[in-house]
A = this chain, B = another copy of it.
């Protein structure tokens, strides 16, 4: 099965571990991916209707799979990521797309955040989120096997949803 992923990186700092972790996840799932660094979209994010931002939204909508990735700020996703997600239409903005919420944190205390706070935002946009939200430690995400347990549990569900998606 061939499919594409859009990796949305909500870290204010470019070339972050957030980005690296999200791209590794896309690759581990078997996707060819394109990356949107939200921080590069600039001040157009602060309003609505900016063409650069609209183009980034369209790039996300062109993908089969969306990985929405954020560092953990104040126990949840970054304002920067939410600023970009606010640009999508409610219920239809990601309808039919399969999405995975991913967050990186310095310690384990906020591990529930992808499931409890980021996933509901993606679902509100219409995204299908068949897997548990993924939380990774920023010191360990790149270790050999760091994704194995999560992939073993959830990759089949993601691929099943993508197959359906492919048949649109």
Contacts and interface: CB of A to CB of B under 8 A. Distances in A.
Which of A107, A116, A125 has the most chain B CB within a 10 Å cutoff? A116
Contacts of A107: 108
Interface string A127-141: 011111001000000
A52 interface: no
A58 interface: no
Nearest to A126: B153
A1 to B, nearest CB: 12
Given A110-B111, A164-B156, A78 B74 contact: no
Given A79-B85, A115-B120, 20 more contacts: A12-B46, A12-B48, A45-B79, A46-B46, A73-B82, A74-B86, A74-B90, A74-B125, A76-B121, A77-B82, A109-B135, A111-B111, A111-B112, A112-B113, A115-B123, A116-B117, A124-B132, A159-B164, A160-B161, A163-B164
Interface of A: 12, 39, 42-43, 45-48, 73-86, 88, 90-91, 95, 107-113, 115-117, 120-121, 123-126, 128-132, 135, 153, 156-157, 159-161, 163-165
10 contacts: A39-B46, A42-B43, A46-B80, A74-B121, A79-B82, A79-B83, A80-B86, A108-B108, A123-B132, A159-B164
